[in-house]
Chains A and B, each alone.
Chain A
Amino acid sequence: MARPAIKYVLLAVRLRSSSGAVLPVVLVFAVFALIVASLYIAAQFTIGKPALVGPASFQALCNARSGIWKGIHLLRLPPPDTLAKINTLDSMFNKQIFGNSVSISPDNSSYFTPGDTAPTGVQPYSVDSFGRAEVSLDYQPCYKVLASKGEFRTANKSVRAFLGGKVYASPDTVLFLVNGFLPEGGVVEGEKVVRSSPKDSSAATGLSSPPDSLSRTGVSSQSGSTSAVASKSSAAPQPSQTAATAPEQLRMGEIAKVVSYYRSLLFQKTDSTLPGRLLTIQSGDDCASVPEVVNGSLFLSAAVSPLVWREKRRVFVFGDLQITGETSVECVEFVTTGDITILDESKLRNVSLFGLKRLVIGDKASFSGNALMLSSVLVYNNARIDERSVVVSYGSAPADTTRKKTPFSISLKQDATVDGVLIACGSPGGISTDRNVMVRGVLWATGPILHQGALFGILRASELVDPQTMQARQNGSTPPLKNTLTGSIRRLPEVINYPFPFFMGTLLIARWDEG
């Protein structure tokens, strides 16, 4: 059937023959024109699709953002049985409006359970035609992560808010001491806050009680020439207070919760694992093959070629974690039972670490992110902690009992550089810095601090000690209690913007992640 038709068309279009030529030619051109027109309209739709989908996608993003605010709103709401009576005649009614900030209630878990895999559906708006959001709360070692997934029609968008702490401090405050003695020696440029009543038990135990009295000293270049400029009795902590009272806001109960959370995760993962073995990764291509649970030590070594691992995931390591060579790791969260060692020229960016044992960062390695270690932290050589990271050493793990006794949970040695917040709490809860160490940010310790380096920011300690005092104590003698500084402490105006872990200070959004 087709062959005679083709023959007819071919005959019809012959140039020498004009007989019966018009209709087939018109038909051919008509079909061709319609095909072109169809392609044109299809192209228009294809090109226009992003613009047509764009508004829905943006509304989904708005829903995800709104889900975060709604989630924070729910976190802040007190449990139904403890709703405060609203008295509009109260002179302090709605006083929060006039403050700089309002905290998110940290202990309210009536709406969200951290780590609960089932998200809570929320309707952010007064009408439901604009879509909805699903909100869930999870832990990172030093942050609570409020995740929201916005939905509108077929579009989905995700937003994560990292809830950290904020300790309010005067931009001039550089030193906070709780043993009642002014520091001797060293260089202190800024305001010193010394609590005259040596009662640090509340901070050490996490009880949030206001200090008895405060003595604040003025700005000076040498600590020996300080003079008291103000003395006052403190009231209940307010957001606008200085660092004098804010460090008392350490909530040990919250630390215990997050430690318990990670321990329970480790316990759950242990059940499904076989006896351990060493897993060595030497190529970025192999990183995808790293299982969620590494039942043994994990060794990331870029000995042969640079190793890049960029992935948002949580990896459990039942053993030591060692990262060496030119290894670059981003966004991964490691939960380990052994030591974490970061050496050579390794670069860890936006990485979360939770470890039952030590954290060692050495050589030219750099780390940024947040870390909560149940044992000591050592940063030495040219190692760096960057980008306003948060590193917390919480107590001493049982494995450390065989090591040499030292009052320092965090040690910064040789030419280490830190940009962030280092917190030593629990026992022993001290921090030491060597002579060439430079720190931008906060050194916060429940115990003593031996500071010989340069600090730009805030230092908080129960006591400032020098090497001689430490030597005397190790020899068994008891030198008189005083604060001796050998390093320098200077102002860092933007230190108020450094994020603290969620278990300190006022709970606020430390980081916002969309995508």
Chain B
Amino acid sequence: MTRACPVSPGKSCSGGMTLLEVLIALFILGVTTSAIVGVIVSGDRIAGRRTSLSYATTIAKNEVERIRSAQTALVLLADTQYSDTVNGIEFEVSRINIPNDSLLADTVSLCREYTVSVTRQPGPEVSVTFRLLQEFNGSVIR
């Protein structure tokens, strides 16, 4: 096979793909492809993290609302730990009563400090932790 090469007087043949061109093109393609794959992977990771974070926050909100609703029931909630699953993703939930010295002076109040933590189990590390005060003496008119 012979390649057609336009011949112009006084000019050398410069047409066709040289080995160098092909190598550079392959290099650029490789870099671009790997970059795109990286972007897609990290994008998926962001999306997954976003979903997990959203689920974890929702679970934590539920737990916080559980603490708040106990306010009217005049029930002082103890520490607890349990698992919750949302759309196939498992989360570990913990509610811990934190000692707060500044609240001890108030002998009337049943105000407690809580930490609510939600961690994805197993899988990529996604964890949210919230802190709140809640009173349990029924000081709300219902």
A contact set with B: CB distance below 8 Å: 17-23, 26-27, 29-30, 33-34, 36-38, 40-41, 44-45, 47-48, 51-52, 54-55, 58-59, 62, 65-66, 69-70, 72-73, 76-77, 83-84, 86, 94, 96-97, 100-104, 124-127, 130, 164, 166, 497, 499, 508-510, 512
| Docked pose: A166 CA to B137 CA in angstroms | 14
Interface string of B111-137 (1 = CB under 8 A from A): 101000000000000001011111101
Q: Which of A44, A55, A499 contacts B128 (CB 8 A)?
A: A55
Contact between A23 and B43, CB atoms less than 8 A apart: no
| Chain B residues with CB under 8 A of A23 | 21, 24-25, 28
Contact between A512 and B40, CB atoms less than 8 A apart: no
When C-beta atoms are compared, the residue in chain B nearest to A124 turns out to be B133
Select the residue from A22, A83, A510 with max chain B CB neighbours within 10 A.
A22
Contact between A34 and B132, CB atoms less than 8 A apart: no
Beyond A62-B131, A66-B132, list 16 extra A-B contacts (CB 8 Å). Answer: A17-B15, A20-B15, A37-B39, A37-B40, A44-B43, A44-B47, A45-B46, A51-B53, A55-B53, A59-B131, A73-B106, A77-B105, A96-B107, A101-B139, A102-B110, A125-B131
- Min distance, Cβ A110 to any Cβ of chain B, angstroms: 13
Contact between A126 and B28, CB atoms less than 8 A apart: no
| Chain B residues with CB under 8 A of A69 | 111, 133-135
Q: Which 8 A-B pairs have the closest CB atoms?
A: A19-B15, A66-B133, A48-B50, A130-B131, A37-B39, A62-B132, A30-B32, A51-B50
Q: Can you list 30 A-B pairs with a CB-CB distance of less than 8 A?
A: A19-B15, A22-B22, A22-B25, A23-B28, A26-B25, A26-B29, A27-B28, A36-B36, A37-B35, A37-B36, A41-B39, A41-B46, A45-B46, A52-B50, A52-B53, A54-B54, A54-B57, A55-B128, A59-B130, A62-B130, A65-B68, A66-B131, A66-B133, A70-B111, A101-B139, A102-B109, A130-B131, A509-B139, A509-B140, A512-B140
Do A104 and B32 form a contact, CB below 8 Å, given A48-B50, A59-B130?
A: no
Contact between A70 and B133, CB atoms less than 8 A apart: yes
The size class of the interface chain B forms with chain A is 35 or more
| Chain B residues with CB under 8 A of A37 | 35-36, 39-40
Contact between A77 and B106, CB atoms less than 8 A apart: yes
B11 at the interface (CB under 8 A from A): no
| Docked pose: A451 CA to B31 CA in angstroms | 89
| Docked pose: A96 CA to B137 CA in angstroms | 8
| Chain A residues with CB under 8 A of B25 | 22-23, 26
Contact between A508 and B140, CB atoms less than 8 A apart: yes
| Chain B residues with CB under 8 A of A48 | 46-47, 49-50
B contact set with A: CB distance below 8 Å: 14-17, 21-22, 24-25, 28-29, 31-32, 35-36, 39-40, 42-43, 46-47, 49-51, 53-54, 56-57, 60-61, 64, 68, 74, 98-103, 105-111, 113, 128, 130-135, 137-142
Q: Which of A18, A65, A66, A104 contacts B139 (CB 8 A)?
A: A104
Contact between A33 and B14, CB atoms less than 8 A apart: no
When C-beta atoms are compared, the residue in chain B nearest to A162 turns out to be B141
Contact between A126 and B113, CB atoms less than 8 A apart: yes
Contact between A40 and B40, CB atoms less than 8 A apart: yes
| Chain B residues with CB under 8 A of A164 | 141
Contact between A51 and B54, CB atoms less than 8 A apart: yes
| Docked pose: A44 CA to B127 CA in angstroms | 20
| Chain B residues with CB under 8 A of A52 | 50, 53
- Min distance, Cβ B107 to any Cβ of chain A, angstroms: 6
Select the residue from B43, B137, B141 with max chain A CB neighbours within 10 A.
B141
Contact between B137 and A55, CB atoms less than 8 A apart: no
Contact between B141 and A499, CB atoms less than 8 A apart: yes
| Chain A residues with CB under 8 A of B29 | 26, 30
Do A509 and B141 form a contact, CB below 8 Å, given A23-B21, A51-B53?
A: yes
- Min distance, Cβ A172 to any Cβ of chain B, angstroms: 19
| Chain B residues with CB under 8 A of A36 | 36
| Docked pose: A489 CA to B41 CA in angstroms | 72
Q: Which of A72, A102, A124, A497 contacts B142 (CB 8 A)?
A: A497
- Min distance, Cβ A232 to any Cβ of chain B, angstroms: 26
Select the residue from B22, B49, B130, B139 with max chain A CB neighbours within 10 A.
B139
When C-beta atoms are compared, the residue in chain A nearest to B38 turns out to be A37
Do A86 and B107 form a contact, CB below 8 Å, given A48-B46, A58-B60?
A: yes
Contact between A33 and B32, CB atoms less than 8 A apart: yes
| Docked pose: A94 CA to B106 CA in angstroms | 11
| Chain A residues with CB under 8 A of B106 | 73, 76-77
Q: Which of B50, B103, B133 contacts A65 (CB 8 A)?
A: B133
| Chain B residues with CB under 8 A of A65 | 68, 132-133
- Min distance, Cβ B112 to any Cβ of chain A, angstroms: 9
Q: Which of A54, A83, A100 contacts B138 (CB 8 A)?
A: A100
- Min distance, Cβ A27 to any Cβ of chain B, angstroms: 7
Contact between A54 and B60, CB atoms less than 8 A apart: no
| Chain B residues with CB under 8 A of A21 | 17
| Docked pose: A70 CA to B47 CA in angstroms | 38
Contact between A72 and B139, CB atoms less than 8 A apart: yes
- Min distance, Cβ A150 to any Cβ of chain B, angstroms: 10
| Chain B residues with CB under 8 A of A19 | 14-16
Q: Which of A30, A44, A499, A509 contacts B28 (CB 8 A)?
A: A30
When C-beta atoms are compared, the residue in chain B nearest to A500 turns out to be B141
| Docked pose: A47 CA to B54 CA in angstroms | 12
Q: Which of A17, A72, A83 contacts B135 (CB 8 A)?
A: A72
- Min distance, Cβ B30 to any Cβ of chain A, angstroms: 10
